[in-house]
Amino acid sequence: MKKIILFLIILSSLLFAQGEKKNLGGFSFTMVEDGTGLGGFIGREINDYYLGTNLDFFILRGTKEFTYYNYYGFLRTINKKNSTYLFNLYITGKKRFFKDSVSDDFRPYLFMATGIVFGMNFPRIEYNIYNIPMRNKYLWTWGGSLGAGVDMLFEEIRFAAIRIEYNIMPFKEKLGEKSDCSMFCIRFEIGQKF
């Protein structure tokens, strides 16, 4: 696994060696089907392309989990059986479109990413319905993402972005309630050129 990560880092640094260069970095907030995520990214623009790395952290809730405030104002959660967390480290690429036909401050793009995903699950119940003890799980898998979005520049160096994407995260074993943690996401980014 260390060799694969090292290979991806070296590959991205070699691809940074050509064309007009602009470094970018920032933070992201992601809303997913069953939870939320936070992350960060760093990369470089090369003409109409972007190549970078992002690291995201997701907190997933169960499909039947429900949180509400009771009559006395206390927060209550019903059907919480698992605490599932996902970390992904992706090499990302963007292709910018309509460069000459729209303003430079509005940048639509297609997005693609691939990398590794680490998932953790901590059961909130001691035994399942078959009286088998529940154990913590730690799993690795390959993942990827496809999507489309738009970058909006402010003051030539700051930007905000919104992107709709589909994350592909299939695990070989069940992690929490499901083995395929693939999901649709809406991602918001803020960042700066440097």
For residue 6, the model assigns a pLDDT of 63
For residue 53, the model assigns a pLDDT of 93
For residue 103, the model assigns a pLDDT of 67
Share of the chain above pLDDT 90, in %: 34
73 vs 43, which has greater pLDDT? 43
94 vs 4, which has greater pLDDT? 94
Q: Sketch the domain layout of the chain as residue ranges.
A: 23-63+76-193
> How many residues make up the chain in this entry?
194
In whole angstroms, give the CA distance from residue 19 to residue 98: 19
E strand spans, the chain: 21-32, 35-46, 49-60, 66-69, 75-78, 82-96, 106-123, 137-154, 158-168, 170-175, 178-180, 183-193
pLDDT, average across residues 144-171: 90
- pLDDT above 70 for 137: yes
Q: What is the pTM of this model?
A: 0.78
CATH of 23-63+76-193, one of 3.30.1380.20, 1.10.3720.10, 3.40.50.720, 2.40.160.20: 2.40.160.20
Within 8 A by CB and 6+ apart from 20, the residues are 45, 46, 47
pLDDT, average across residues 82-96: 89
Q: Are 149 and 163 in contact (CB under 8 A)?
A: yes
Q: State pLDDT tens for residues 31-67.
A: 988 889 999 999 988 888 889 999 999 988 877 777 7
- pLDDT above 70 for 72: yes
